Amino acid sequence: MKKNLLKTIYNFGGFAPFHWLNREKILILMYHRFSRETNPFKISSAEFAAHLEYLAKHNRVLSLAETVALLKNGKTLPPNTTVITIDDGYADAFEIAFPLLKKFNLPATLFVVTDFANGKCWLWTDLMRYVLTATTRDFIKIEFEIGEKIEVELTNKNQRIELAAIINSRLKKMPDKEKDLKIKKIAADLAVEIPALPTAEYAPINWRQAQEMDASVLKIESHTATHPILTNINETRLDFELNSSRVNLETVLNRKSEHFCYPNGSLNETVWQAVKNNEYQSAVTTEYGFNGKEANPFLLKRIDAPAAIENFAQSVSGFEAFRKSSS
């Protein structure tokens, strides 16, 4: 839909009927990164504040734990029940999102990669972003085993970050060990040495911050220990990723950790059954959509939160889902 038309619909309250039509469905919003200023790859503090103001007016924001408990017990949920989730556990969740959630007194869930917060690893998806923005080379050529090639000039930072996403999408299809070796080879070819720990731009929260958030409106839950693609690892590693992250969180937070987020949304029946068997009560995916009362609590759909308020309103009202189903 054209931007000007979307703004007009938003300004005149045109999404209100869709809020009413979707009042019995559960919306789970998905966020990742935040910034103080406008950034094409992150949600700015001003944009997030506008989102929260809109939700406070039009939706009923509940915690993930409360929503799942109501679902499992067959209880009636408030109209337009909405859950706010943030993935990964970057420092900007504490620095930018947390103060605004407190200001609006809205609950949310932050899914944390525990070894990332422990200072033991990068989130591997950031490695290509780092390598491509740090290299002084102006051309990249990558060959994958199936004959696929990526050959492109490197220009500005935004283009390099967009290219990193393309490369990551290909790396996500590879077995975990092969993926790690490929990243190291690309870094070597581009003459970039990857630091042992993430640089400030890619830094995680620390456990003191996690405890502070968890004691307030932003509850901390599991996003694995090291953020692998769970369908690309064996069952022993899968059990480790699910169990060790849960135990780590329970030790730090001094409470049960019962909710999970699949890295990259990648799962199959083996994976979600393993999540269930590891004492979790729910798990969220990246599959687009609202959730009905009959939803499997281990296959909960989410909707990515667009930055611009008119796009955000289109998504949270259900108008965008209606468009997708009608096309």
Structural contact between residues 300 and 283, judged by C-beta atoms closer than 8 angstroms: yes
Residue 89: predicted pLDDT: 98
Residue 161: predicted pLDDT: 97
What contacts 57, CB < 8 A, 6 or more positions away? none
Residue 6: predicted pLDDT: 87
From the list 152, 155, 160, the residue with the least C-alpha distance to 133 is: 160
**Relative orientation angle of helices 309-317 and 45-58, to the nearest 10 degrees:** 40
* SS3 state of residue 35: strand
Mean predicted lDDT score pLDDT of the chain: 95
Residues 28 and 139: their CA atoms lie apart, in Å, by 40
What are 158-212's pLDDT values in tens digits?
999 999 999 999 999 999 999 999 999 999 999 999 999 999 999 999 999 999 9
Share of the chain above pLDDT 70, in %: 99
Q: What is the pTM of this model?
A: 0.96
216 CB neighbour count, 10 Å cutoff:
13
User: Residue 214 belongs to what H/E stretch?
Assistant: helix 207-214
Say which residue the tokens 């468009």 belong to. Answer: 323
Q: How far is CA 266 from the centre of its chain?
A: 12
**Which residue stretches of the chain have pLDDT < 50?**
none
Residue 1: predicted pLDDT: 67
Beta pairing, strands 139-143 & 149-153: antiparallel
170's tokens:
């290909």
Domain 3-7+15-120+202-326, CATH:
3.20.20.370
Residues 282 and 269: their CA atoms lie apart, in Å, by 14
Domain limits of the chain?
3-7+15-120+202-326, 125-189
